[in-house]
């Protein structure tokens, strides 16, 4: 039973990170970046057939440089689709959210370091 409660604790910890992550996106709160992403994290997508990859400095600029959905009264629409823990230090999550009338699907890779889960990689797709 101890193993089961350990898994449940990890899922709860990851879900808490995911809720802060979705708050960050909806509210445009750059102060939350360090609470969800590891410093080495990257954000990746494909645009015009090319891979676009930015670090946390670039991600902070992107969030700070756009209107937040909250600021324009956009209805919040996000959900955690899946959390998969593959080892004591690695996990994957899938979330969906609506940001500025665009539907995003995010795959978030997690690593647990010093007892805390953090996002090490975000790969996303958007559809208009």
Q: How far apart are CA 7 and CA 124, in angstroms?
A: 26
| pTM, full prediction | 0.93
Dump pLDDT digits (tens) for 95-125. 999 999 999 999 999 999 999 999 999 999 9
Residues written for the chain: 128
Q: How far apart are CA 99 and CA 77, in angstroms?
A: 8
Residues paired with 54 in a beta bridge: 43
Q: How far apart are CA 56 and CA 48, in angstroms?
A: 22
Dump pLDDT digits (tens) for 15-68. 999 999 999 999 999 999 999 999 999 999 999 999 999 999 999 999 999 999
Q: What is the CATH code of the structural domain delimited by 2-127?
A: 3.10.450.50
């Amino acid at each position: 039973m101890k193993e089961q409660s350990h898994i449940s604790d990890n899922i709860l910890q990851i879900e808490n990170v995911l809720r802060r992550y979705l708050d960050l996106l909806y509210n445009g709160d750059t102060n939350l970046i360090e609470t969800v992403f590891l410093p080495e994290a990257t954000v990746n997508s494909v645009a015009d057939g090319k891979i676009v990859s930015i670090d946390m400095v670039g991600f902070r600029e992107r969030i700070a440089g756009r209107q937040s959905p909250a600021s324009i009264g956009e209805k919040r629409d996000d959900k955690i689709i899946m959390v998969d823990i593959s080892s004591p230090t690695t996990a994957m999550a899938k979330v969906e959210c609506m940001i500025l009338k665009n539907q995003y699907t995010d795959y978030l890779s997690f690593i647990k370091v010093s007892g805390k889960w953090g996002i090490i990689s975000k790969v996303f797709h958007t559809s208009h």
